[in-house]
Structure 1
Amino acid sequence: MRKSLACFLESRDNNFNLVRFIAAFGVLLSHSYALSIGNNATEPFKQLVNMSFGHIAVDIFFISSGFLIANSLFVKKDLANFLWARFLRIYPGLFIAVIFCVFIVGAFFTSYSLIQYLTDAQTYIFLIKNTVLFFGEEASLPGVFESLPWSGVVNGSLWTLPFEVKAYCLLVFFSIAINRLLIWSNGALNERLIYLLIPLLGMLIYITNHFFTFLPISYFASEDFRLYSLFFIGTACYIFKDYLILSEQIFYPILFTLLASSINTELFFVVYNVTIFYVIFYIAYIPKGWIRGFNKYGDYSYGIYIYAWPVQQSVIAFIPGVNVLELCVYSFIGTMFISYLSWHLVEKKALKFKGKIPFNFKKS
Structure 2
Amino acid sequence: MKKTTSDILLRKNNNFDLLRIIAATAVIVYHSFAINPSWNITDPTKLLLTYVTTGGLAVKVFFFISGLLVTNSLIRNRSLLHFIISRAFRILPGLYFVILLPSLVIGPLLTKLPISEYFTSPLLAEYISHNLIIDTRYFLPGVGFDNPHGFNGSIWTIRYEVYCYLVLALFYVIGAYKYKILSNIICFAILFEPISPFKGLLFASSDNNAIYLLAPCFALGSIIAINQESYKPSTWHALALIVLSLFFRNHEALFALLICSAACLFSLRLSSYRWFVGLKVKNDISYGVYLWGFPLQQILSGYHGLGPVIGILAPTLLTYSVALLSWKYIEKPAMHLGKTLYIKLTKLSADDEGIGSEQ
Q: Give yes or no for TM over 0.5.
A: yes
Shift of 1:77: 1.4
C-alpha separation in 2, matches of 1:127 and 1:163: 19
Q: Which amino acid aligns with 2:16?
A: F
1:200-349 correspondence to structure 2 within 5 Å: 200-207=188-195, 219=206, 225-247=212-234, 251-252=235-236, 254-255=238-239, 258=242, 265-266=249-250, 268-285=255-272, 287-289=273-275, 291-317=276-302, 319-320=303-304, 322-349=306-333
Partner of 1:187 in structure 2? none
1:42-81 correspondence to structure 2 within 5 Å: 42-50=42-50, 51-81=52-82
Partner of 1:132 in structure 2? 133
* Distance verdict in 2 for CA 1:253–1:213, change over 3 Å: closer
Shift of 1:277: 3.2
Shift of 1:111: 1.3
* Distance verdict in 2 for CA 1:279–1:123, change over 3 Å: same
Partner of 2:17 in structure 1? 17
Partner of 2:155 in structure 1? 158
Q: Is the 8 A contact 2:238 2:261 kept in 1?
A: no
Aligned length: 344
C-alpha separation in 1, matches of 2:176 and 2:340: 27
1:98-177 correspondence to structure 2 within 5 Å: 98-133=99-134, 136-145=135-144, 147-148=145-146, 150-151=147-148, 153-177=150-174
2:228 counterpart SS class: coil
Shift of 1:297: 2.1
1:156 counterpart SS class: coil
* Distance verdict in 2 for CA 1:195–1:260, change over 3 Å: closer
Q: Is the 8 A contact 1:196 1:236 kept in 2?
A: yes
Shift of 1:195: 2.1
In angstroms, what is the RMSD of aligned CA positions? Answer: 3.2
Q: Does 1:350 align with 2:338?
A: no
Shift of 1:54: 0.4
* Distance verdict in 2 for CA 1:344–1:216, change over 3 Å: closer
C-alpha separation in 1, matches of 2:26 and 2:111: 28
1:32-77, Cα deviation, whole Å (9 max, x unpaired): 0011129998111111112111000110000100110011112111
Partner of 2:28 in structure 1? 28
C-alpha separation in 2, matches of 1:264 and 1:224: 20
1:193 counterpart SS class: helix
Structure 1: give runs of 5+ residues left out of the alignment.
183-190
Shift of 1:178: 3.7
Q: Is the 8 A contact 1:139 1:154 kept in 2?
A: yes
Q: Which amino acid aligns with 1:197?
A: I
Identity rate of aligned residues, in percent? 26
Q: Does 1:95 align with 2:81?
A: no
**TM-score normalised by L of structure 2:** 0.85
C-alpha separation in 1, matches of 2:244 and 2:309: 28
2:270 counterpart SS class: helix
1:79-124, Cα deviation, whole Å (9 max, x unpaired): 1122111111111111111112212332111111111010011102
Q: Which amino acid aligns with 2:114?
A: S
1:357 counterpart SS class: helix
Structure 2: give runs of 5+ residues left out of the alignment.
350-359
Q: Is the 8 A contact 1:34 1:40 kept in 2?
A: no
**TM-score normalised by L of structure 1:** 0.84
Q: Is the 8 A contact 1:40 1:46 kept in 2?
A: no
* Distance verdict in 2 for CA 1:216–1:349, change over 3 Å: closer
Partner of 1:198 in structure 2? 186
1:116-171, Cα deviation, whole Å (9 max, x unpaired): 010011102111222221xx2111111111x52x2360000000001111211110
1:193-214, Cα deviation, whole Å (9 max, x unpaired): 32222332233331358xx999
1:265-293, Cα deviation, whole Å (9 max, x unpaired): 447535314433321211122x114x334
Shift of 1:300: 0.9
Q: Is the 8 A contact 2:60 2:260 kept in 1?
A: no
Comparing 19-28 and 77-86, the one that deviates more: 77-86
